[in-house]
């Protein structure tokens, strides 16, 4: 289970919409509680592929985000990306490029623009599991 506050959800959603028709991406950080994750900060990164079908995170921005996490005592939790035209589930390429089975992979579907869907997954090789995502009020 992953928890995400509404303010951070809105940040992700606004960034993903601003990047359309391209995929958007970023990192998530916070605290681990066993297998659960509490997202405390989201990072909005540049998709260097500038594609509606692929994303690659900007390594320079990734480095800056990792340093920021460390500075604020946050644990790297995983990443998020958008699917502009497809459902909120890991694609074959998402699975192939998921190197960290401990990471949380959030996917925001914008295929129905009026009803965005955000889910969080764990990916183990060719298998994936929707781990559940709870949105909470911002404090």
Q: Which residues bind another protein (CB under 8 A)?
A: 23, 25, 27, 49, 52-57, 59, 62-63, 66, 70, 79, 81, 83-86, 90-94, 97-100
Report, in Å, the least distance between residue 68 CB and another protein.
Answer: 12
Write out the two tokens for 129: 């599991």
Q: Which is nearer to another protein, 36 or 94 (CB)?
A: 94
CA dihedral 46, 68, 78, 136 (to 10 degrees): -100
**How distant, in Å, are the alpha carbons of 44, 67, 107 from that of 9?**
11, 22, 12
Smallest gap, in angstroms, from Cβ of residue 37 to another protein? 17
Q: Which residues contact residue 57 at a Cβ distance below 8 angstroms, ignoring those fewer than 6 apart?
A: 25, 26, 27, 45, 46, 47, 48, 79
Our CB check for another protein shows the closer of 40 and 83 to be 83
Which residue, 30 or 84, has its beta carbon nearer to another protein?
Answer: 84
- The CB-of-60 to another protein minimum distance in angstroms stands at 8
């Amino acid at each position: 289970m992953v928890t995400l506050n509404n303010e951070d959800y809105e940040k992700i959603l606004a960034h993903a919409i601003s990047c359309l028709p391209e995929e958007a991406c970023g990192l998530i950080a916070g605290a681990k509680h066993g297998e659960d994750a509490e997202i405390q900060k989201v990072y909005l990164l540049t998709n260097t592929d500038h594609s509606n079908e692929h994303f690659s995170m900007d390594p320079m921005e990734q480095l800056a985000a990792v340093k920021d996490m460390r500075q604020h005592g946050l644990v790297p939790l995983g990443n998020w990306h958008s699917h502009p035209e497809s459902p909120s589930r890991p694609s074959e390429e998402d699975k192939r490029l998921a190197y960290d089975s401990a990471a949380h992979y959030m996917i925001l579907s914008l295929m129905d623009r009026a009803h965005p869907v955000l889910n969080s997954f764990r990916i183990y090789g060719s298998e994936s599991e929707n781990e559940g995502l709870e949105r909470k009020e911002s404090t």
